[in-house]
Structure 1
Amino acid sequence: MTWTIQPRSKFGRLAAITGGSGPKVLLVHGVGLRAEAWGGQLEILARTCRVMAVDMPGHGESSRLASNPQMADFTDAIVMTLTEPVVVIGHSFGAMIALDMASRYSDLVLGVAALNGIFQRDVAAKDAVLARAASLDGKITADPNATLIRWFGAEPSGARSACQEWLSEVDPAGYRDAYHVFAAEDGPSDKALRNLQCPALFLTGEDEPNSTPQMSRRMAESTPFGRAAVLKGAAHMLPMTHATEVTAILEKFIQDTQIDEK
């Protein structure tokens, strides 16, 4: 599988890959990446859905937000691109955004899927992510090697090479802004999960040390219409490393969400 850069449509200050027809599906990537991170899902989902894979603010071809943005600023900027309800699917920091959107904009979210989402990190994990955030000055591109090791290990692959390129080319200030929010946040609140009234999928990898299976299961158990799924042999970058399995799970979730709406 290749991760070729694709043409964009502009939505104000944000850009997105769009395609297909049918129910609308919004895809939100993680920190340091770009819409092409959904390259394993875009073509297949576009056969039955109208897909919009957005470049997060400060990433890809999307403009940065104002100085010192907060979680809500990222969500609000992406919501501004919407004109109708969607199924929103987010990965990593994108999962945080997707869940925040489902909580605060419930009229616009038919269903939410959080891939590799975090929930109440332990002290060691919190300290580690805050230390990484503190090392970013917004001027110099961060060395991607430690990130790539966490995500993929040392084995070369097309997905690893693509992420290395994106992490090396991302706007340092946009990366810092997003990573600071990602590090400061701890996932959805218990109250937000209890009040979530749409179908919710929490998907992660069996070998994921940070967005752990336990986190996904706890979020699903706290949500009225939630369920958890754990992919065997997968870790943090499962939309890329396990594209076929992830796409099949998302297709089924989208289909079930549409049935629930009828």
Structure 2
Amino acid sequence: MMSKTQQLSNNRIAHYFEQGTGEPLVLIHGVGMQAAAWYPQIEFFSKHYRVISVDMPGHGQSTKLADEAKLQDFVDWTIEFIAALNIGAVNLAGHSMGSLITTGVSVTRPDLVKRMAVLNGVYKRTPQARNAVIKRAEELKTGHIDVETPLQRWFGDSEIERIASDHVKSWLENVDLSGYTTAYSAFACGDEVYADEWSKIACPALVLTGTHDPNSTAEMAREMASLAKNGVAIVIENERHMVNLTAPDKVNNAMQKWLETNV
């Protein structure tokens, strides 16, 4: 992978990895992760596509946003980043918070999105679920990152899950606390920001999750896909929140079909 940076407004830097040539595929990770969190997809798709995996603001080597930044600010940042690449419309995929950003970009600037995919996305959480996420966001403001709880929630004991868990643990332990806190707060309050805009999405839309992801449920995935004009929902059995790492072959196959969908 080639490490690159893109200068954005207000002296902000967007860091990303780029590999391969062909039609562009832009990948946006979730809260606490970094661009490398798409490693199975980067390896697989860079054989035939120009894969661009970007560090979200305040993660990896990308400049963080203001402490009070909302989801819309992350969407605006991503729009600026894609436009600055000067490569036209892209295939845009996001995981977890990245899926909320992907949705926001797709409804705000459809001219920049050829196809869109959301992995383990959230859609209109229940009040109980929203309160739990908001509580975790508030806990982060005290300066404490709970690494073990999400690892236990996301991973089992298989070899592929152990390897993925080691990667994720390292990213969480090394994340910038301020950038992480800002992003998590935006994520906690962001599930409804673009939820009523799904009917505006006309490009091919893949919505994927796992049956064992209690926060990004199969019902959410099916609802989002049903609202998009060309939406497809895929629910992978027995998989949890980090499905792109724990079931890479199934995810890659689903994304390959999505990328081959006519626009």
State whether TM-score is above 0.5: yes
Q: Which amino acid aligns with 2:149?
A: A
SS of residue in 2 equivalent to 1:68: coil
Structure-2 separation of matches of 1:43 and 1:60:
19
Give the corresponding residue for 1:149. Answer: 152
1:87 partner amino acid: N
Equivalent residue number for residue 50 of structure 2: 50
Q: Which runs of 5+ in 2 are unaligned?
A: 8-12
Is 2:21 the counterpart of 1:24?
no
Counterparts of 2:97 and 2:5 in 1: how far apart (Å)? Answer: 22
Name the counterpart of 2:6: 11
The 2-side partners of 1:25 and 1:7 are apart by 15
Partner of 2:242: 237
1:179 equivalent among 184, 194, 201? 184
SS state at 1:135 partner: helix
Whether the 8 Å contact between 1:129 and 1:183 is mirrored in structure 2 is yes
- What's 1:76 paired with? 76
Write out per-residue CA displacement over residues 1-60 of structure 1, whole angstroms, 9 at most, x where no aligned residue.
Answer: xxxxx5510011110010111111100000000111100110210111111000000001
CA distance in 1, matches of 2:193, 2:232: 15
The answer as to whether partners of 2:103 and 2:194 remain within 8 angstroms in 1 is: no
Report the secondary structure of 1:78's partner residue. helix
2:249 maps to amino acid: T
Matches within 5 A, 1:93-132: 93-132=97-136
Shift of 1:159: 0.3
Distance in 1 of aligned mates of 2:16 and 2:60: 9
> Scaled by the length of structure 1, what TM-score is found?
0.92
- Number of matched residues? 252
1:165 corresponds to: 170
Change (3 A) 1:33 1:58: same
Once superposed, which parts of structure 1, at least 4 consecutive aligned residues long, lie more than 6 Å away? Answer: none
Partner AA of 2:39 in structure 1:
G
After superposition, give the CA deviation of every residue in 1:58-77 in whole Å (9 maximum; x if it has no partner).
00111101231111211121
144-153 or 11-20: which moved more? 144-153
Q: Give the conservation status (yes or no) of the 8 Å contact 1:190–1:222.
A: no
Superposition RMSD on alpha carbons, in Å? 1.5
Q: For 2:119 and 2:168, how far apart are their aligned partners in 1?
A: 17
TM-score (norm. length: structure 2): 0.92
SS state at 1:80 partner: helix
Deviations 1:60-108 (A, max 9, x none): 1111012311112111212222221101000000000001000001100
Matched AA of 2:91: V
Query: Residue 154 of structure 2 aligns to a residue in which SS?
Result: helix
Structure 2: distance between partners of 1:24 and 1:184: 30
Could you tell me whether the CA contact under 8 Å between 1:117 and 1:187 is conserved in 2? no
Q: Could you say what secondary structure the match of 1:111 adopts?
A: strand
Letter in 2 for 1:208: D
Q: Residue 207 of structure 2 contacts residue 232 of structure 2 at CA under 8 Å; is this kept in 1? A: yes
1:3: which partner in 2?
A: none
